């Protein structure tokens, strides 16, 4: 029984540790083993790489502003290429989260929905890359440069939305595949899991709401307000609180089982 309860605490703890959007500084449930999160490329890392690459390309363009128009066009074309390349690289890393990373085993429909949106971004970026060769004026180039940013919104909307959907789906996946079977065994052993199940069900509700917000943000990334991302993060915070409460209830069951006095025959 103690091993079963320890497994339950670990399963809940795994969600809290493994989901980057759920990992916060508040106390996590104690357990008999350490759970280590898998490596993931953070949004800040992706953004910083983008900034560094674009800064170098922009500095080269600015240094040549007083030179001939042909050279200026070549340099601004390089700048737009750098814009597209950093975004394509970032999207590939986001795809890896669902293809080979921590979210590869989540709900198949959710995985398909997220990857379809990332494919759409890459398709758009490919079209924009092809458009570079048709540019004839600096103004046309500036318009294309702005479109690369506004029509894809890779760093402002797509990145937090993708990682948010991953975190949301992690809650749902681990709850259904790892936690539910343990709860069934506990109930069969006569344990009262009512309070813990209430918290777990709330976590599912909040995680589902978060997933919906993040996915909608990803689908409407070119026009969506940042509010959808904010709403998704808020729902994830609620899900984390629900899980923390569930972990506390599981720990109480574990503690009561450990201190129970055996019945004298």
**pLDDT tens figures, 189-204:** 888 999 999 999 999 9
* C-alpha span between 59 and 243 (Å, rounded): 48
Confidence of residue 24 (pLDDT cuts 50, 70, 90): very low
| Res. 1: pLDDT tops 70 | no
242 and 200 Cβ atoms separated by less than 8 Å: yes
User: CA angle at residue 116 from 23 to 78, to 5 degrees?
Assistant: 90
pTM for the model stands at 0.79
pLDDT over 70 percentage in the chain: 73
Residues in Cβ contact with 164 at an 8 Å cutoff, skipping those fewer than 6 apart:
21, 210, 211, 213, 214, 217, 229, 232, 233, 236
Q: Decide if 167 contacts 18 (C-beta within 8 A).
A: no
DSSP type of residue 134: G
pLDDT at 44 over 70: no
* Spatial CA neighbour of 167 closest among 90, 62, 115, 97: 97
Mean local confidence (pLDDT), 113-120:
96
């Amino acid at each position: 029984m103690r091993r079963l309860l320890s497994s339950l605490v670990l399963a809940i703890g795994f969600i809290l540790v493994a989901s980057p959007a759920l990992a916060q500084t508040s106390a996590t449930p104690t357990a008999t083993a350490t759970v280590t999160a898998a490596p993931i490329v953070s949004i800040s890392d992706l953004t910083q790489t983008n900034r560094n690459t674009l800064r170098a390309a922009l500095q080269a363009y600015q240094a040549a502003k007083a030179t001939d128009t042909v050279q200026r066009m070549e340099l601004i074309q390089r700048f737009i290429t750098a814009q597209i390349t950093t975004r394509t690289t970032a999207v590939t890393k986001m795809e890896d989260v669902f293809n080979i990373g921590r979210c590869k085993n989540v709900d198949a429909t959710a995985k398909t929905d997220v990857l379809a949106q990332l494919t759409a971004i890459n398709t758009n970026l490919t079209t924009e890359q092809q458009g570079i060769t048709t540019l004839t004026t600096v103004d046309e180039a500036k318009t294309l440069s702005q479109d690369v940013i506004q029509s894809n919104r890779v760093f402002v909307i797509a990145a937090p939305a993708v990682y948010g959907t991953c975190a949301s789906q992690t809650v749902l996946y681990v709850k259904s595949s790892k936690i539910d079977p343990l709860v069934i065994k506990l109930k069969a052993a006569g344990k009262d899991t009512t309070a813990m199940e209430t918290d777990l069900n709330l976590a599912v509700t909040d995680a589902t709401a978060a997933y919906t917000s993040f996915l909608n943000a990803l689908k409407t990334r070119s026009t969506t307000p940042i509010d959808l991302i904010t709403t998704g993060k808020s729902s994830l915070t609620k899900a984390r609180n629900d899980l923390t409460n569930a972990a506390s209830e599981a720990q109480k069951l574990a503690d009561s089982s450990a201190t129970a006095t055996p019945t004298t025959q």
